[in-house]
């Protein structure tokens, strides 16, 4: 069960997540804007559009020359916090960055308000704030070094290391200090940062986590984890920040681009295409919706089955189910209906209500299902607990057969790049063969898309390049593009070389 912060008794995020505790979770969304009169309001809107990337807490930092830097950090949803006029009036200025979070590696389930980003640091040349999406895989090592040299950490977040490394740099400008700091960290990081006059965006050399640039009228710019947050503020999508690129945006010079790291081949997260990103976002030059629909097409080609209906497990299975139906010719139907408002229904979830689990969120459309052979399309199987419950609900409703088709390969390895994953021994695919999983779930058939099929769906016509994979796919393949140094030192065993 997730921690429900005592300081916010009306936070219903833990309840709204019930029944989806065996999904991988993106841990953060980041946003920044420069050159608009109410940057905090633009940022609140952007963060609201990115809320699917983190519902536990959010924060905004702003600057204007009359009031200096100001910030607000709150637990709960953006819409419940950053809509109050009273609060937003304390955040004036044309420049802002913001962050929504689930929880970072250092403090899972025990978030304190001091862990909520953006983080702020006062340097000799002025203040700077920073918000980070990803995970620094050598953060323990850096933190130990910094504490040994006298740094005093305020939070348990690995992202704070960046601020301390900047503080110790002898470079003369904040962007130069940031470059130097980021060269020391390993892992996945997309960063938005701000000084008094500049908005800064950086992506790690492999570009694991996304970051995009948008343009508004009159020389204003925005940075965001996803394009859907540009749409909400009416910004035009310009381009993705390239892997290993730093952009420094100011009102007088516009967008300046730097490449502070040694060039590497991009390895962006393939799971963004499967699940994390919103289907109305553009990722890698493609519509996320279209990639997911194509995954369904590939799945139907790879693993056809005779059935009466194709039903998505809503909402994330929907585009792949549409693609499966189009390719197979089997009718698409809403066999499971999601209650969109469940998370707002109860204030205090009791144990009895919690036990109802997935039924609170998903309901079977009995009239449609009875007597039918049903293909259920879901985005992933992580622990398998939700899949089992859904199968029971479908059988209770009188389905004749249940066939699972999964829009990702078996998730057999944890992610160490900013995604919350259960320990390896809790991942169904790490402990069972596909046939054992089918038996465990109690379904008539269970098939996952192949890694090659998934790559084809993203536009890689020849599938996965085994020697130089085009994406990070470590949670499926066990091949980590950046060694998870801290985890290895804690005993995590990498996959044996074949
Ligand atoms: S391990 Fe999986 S979830 Fe994590 S970055 Fe790589 S592909 Fe994405």
**Distance from the Cα of residue 191 to its chain's centroid:** 14
Q: Return the residue whose CA atom lies nearest to atom 2 of ligand 1.
A: 475
Identify the pLDDT of residue 343: 52
Surface-to-core class of residue 6, CB atoms within 10 Å of its CB (0-12 exposed, 13-18 middle, 19+ buried): exposed
CA of 355 to the centre of ligand 1 (A): 31
Identify the pLDDT of residue 339: 81
CA dihedral 112, 118, 124, 125 (to 10 degrees): -170
Q: Over the stretch 394-442, which tens digit does the pLDDT of each residue have?
A: 999 999 999 999 999 999 999 999 998 888 999 999 999 999 999 999 9
CA dihedral 349, 350, 353, 354 (to 10 degrees): 80
Give the domain ranges of the chain. 13-267, 290-463
Helices 160-168 & 174-184 angle (0-180, nearest 10) = 120
CB 208 within 8 A of CB 240: no
Average pLDDT over residues 2-8: 31
Which ligand 1 atom sits closest to the C-alpha of 414? 1
Which among 39, 26, 99, 31 has a CA at the least distance from the CA of 67?
39
In this structure, CATH architecture of domain 13-267: 4-Layer Sandwich (3.60)
Average pLDDT over residues 484-490: 92
Per the DSSP assignment, residues forming a β-bridge with 282 are 287
pLDDT category at 13 given cuts 50, 70, 90 is: very low
Strands 401-406, 445-448: pairing is parallel
Average pLDDT over residues 195-207: 98
Helix count and strand count (H, E) for the chain? 19, 25
CA of 268 to the centre of ligand 1 (A): 8
**Residue the block writes with tokens 């967008």:** 255
CB 494 within 8 A of CB 478: yes
Given 28, 228, 415, 475, which residue is catalytic? 28
**E strand or H helix at 202:** strand 198-203
Whether 349 shows a pLDDT value over 80: the answer reads no
Cα(408)–Cα(377) distance, integer angstroms = 10
- Kindly provide the residue ranges of all beta strands, DSSP E only, lying in 260-299, ordered along the sequence: 268-269, 282-283, 286-287
Which among 30, 193, 28, 224 has a CA at the least distance from the CA of 107?
28
For the record, the structure tokens of 200 come out as 């800064």
| Ligand 1 pocket residues where CB is under 6 Å | 24, 208, 269-271, 415, 417, 419, 472-475
Residues in the chain: 498
The CATH number of 290-463 is 3.40.50.2020
Average pLDDT over residues 108-124: 84
Asked if 13-267 and 290-463 have one fold, the answer is no
Per the DSSP assignment, residues forming a β-bridge with 57 are 75, 101
Identify the pLDDT of residue 196: 97
DSSP code per residue over 131-147: EEEEEETTHHHHHHHHH
**Residue the block writes with tokens 């200090």:** 177
Q: Return the residue whose CA atom lies nearest to atom 8 of ligand 1.
A: 269
Q: How many CA atoms lie within 13 A of 334 on its CB side?
A: 8
Whether 347 shows a pLDDT value over 60: the answer reads no
Average pLDDT over residues 270-274: 97
Surface-to-core class of residue 110, CB atoms within 10 Å of its CB (0-12 exposed, 13-18 middle, 19+ buried): exposed
CB 425 within 8 A of CB 417: no
Mean pLDDT of the residues in the chain: 91
Average pLDDT over residues 98-103: 89
The pick from 284, 412, 419, 455 for probing ligand 1's pocket by mutation, whose C-beta has the most ligand atoms within 8 angstroms, reads 419
% of the chain residues with pLDDT over 90: 83
Average pLDDT over residues 276-283: 97
Q: Lowest-pLDDT range, 90-94, 123-127, 228-232?
A: 123-127
For the record, the structure tokens of 10 come out as 């009306």
For the record, the structure tokens of 389 come out as 């419950």
pTM of the model: 0.92
- Is 28 a residue of the active site? yes
**Distance from the Cα of residue 395 to its chain's centroid:** 32
CA of 246 to the centre of ligand 1 (A): 22
Sign of the Cα pseudo-torsion (299, 304, 305, 306, in order): positive
Cα(146)–Cα(123) distance, integer angstroms = 17
pLDDT category at 361 given cuts 50, 70, 90 is: confident
**Distance from the Cα of residue 487 to its chain's centroid:** 20
Cα(60)–Cα(78) distance, integer angstroms = 10
Identify the pLDDT of residue 497: 75
Per the DSSP assignment, residues forming a β-bridge with 248 are 200, 256
pLDDT category at 378 given cuts 50, 70, 90 is: very high
CA of 376 to the centre of ligand 1 (A): 24
Identify the pLDDT of residue 344: 43
For the chain, report the end-to-end CA distance as a whole number of angstroms. 38
Cα(101)–Cα(103) distance, integer angstroms = 6
């Amino acid at each position: 069960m997730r921690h429900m912060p005592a300081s916010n008794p009306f936070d219903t995020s833990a309840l709204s997540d019930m029944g989806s505790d065996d999904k991988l979770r993106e841990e953060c969304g980041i946003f920044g804007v420069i050159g608009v009169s109410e940057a905090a309001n633009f940022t609140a809107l952007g963060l609201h559009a990115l809320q699917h990337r983190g519902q536990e807490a959010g924060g905004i930092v702003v600057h204007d020359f009359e009031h200096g830097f100001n910030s607000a950090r709150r637990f709960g949803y953006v819409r419940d916090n950053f809509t109050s006029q009273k609060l937003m009036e304390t955040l004036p200025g044309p420049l802002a960055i913001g962050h929504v979070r689930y929880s970072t590696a250092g403090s899972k389930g025990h978030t304190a308000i001091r862990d909520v980003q953006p983080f702020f640091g006062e340097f000799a040349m002025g203040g700077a704030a920073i918000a980070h999406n990803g995970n620094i895989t050598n953060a323990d090592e850096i933190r130990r070094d910094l504490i040994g040299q006298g740094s005093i950490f305020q939070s348990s977040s690995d992202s704070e290391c960046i601020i301390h490394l900047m503080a110790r740099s002898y470079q003369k400008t904040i962007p130069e200090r940031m470059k130097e700091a980021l060269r020391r960290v390993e892992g996945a990081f997309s960063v938005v940062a701000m000084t008094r006059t500049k908005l800064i965006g950086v992506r790690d050399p492999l570009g694991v986590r996304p970051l995009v640039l948008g343009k508004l009228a009159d020389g204003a710019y925005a940075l965001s984890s996803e394009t859907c947050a540009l749409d909400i503020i009416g910004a035009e999508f310009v381009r993705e920040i390239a892997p290993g690129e730093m952009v420094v945006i100011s009102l007088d010079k516009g967008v300046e681009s730097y490449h502070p790291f040694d060039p590497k081949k991009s390895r962006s997260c393939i799971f963004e295409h499967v699940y994390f990103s919103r289907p109305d976002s553009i990722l890698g030059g493609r519509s996320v919706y279209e990639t997911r629909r194509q995954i369904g097409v590939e799945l139907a080609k790879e693993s056809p089955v005779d059935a009466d209906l194709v039903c998505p497990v809503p909402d994330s299975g929907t585009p792949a189910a549409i693609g499966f139906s189009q390719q197979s010719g089997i009718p698409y139907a809403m066999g499971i209906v999601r209650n969109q408002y469940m998370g707002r229904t109860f204030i205090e979830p009791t144990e009895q209500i919690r036990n109802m689990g997935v039924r609170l969120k998903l309901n079977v459309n009995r009239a449609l299902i009875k007597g039918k052979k049903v293909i259920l399309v879901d985005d992933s199987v992580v622990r398998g607990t939700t899949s089992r419950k859904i199968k029971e609900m479908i059988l209770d409703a009188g389905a004749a057969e249940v066939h699972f088709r999964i829009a990702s390969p078996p998730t057999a390895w944890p992610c160490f790049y900013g995604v919350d994953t259960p320990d390896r021994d809790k991942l169904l695919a790490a402990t069972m063969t596909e046939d054992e999983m089918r038996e465990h779930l109690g379904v008539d058939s269970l098939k996952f898309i192949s890694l090659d099929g998934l790559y084809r769906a993203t536009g890689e016509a020849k599938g996965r390049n085994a020697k130089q994979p085009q994406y990070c796919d470590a949670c499926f393949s066990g091949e980590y593009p950046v060694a998870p140094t801290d985890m290895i030192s804690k005993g995590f065993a990498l996959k044996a070389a074949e």
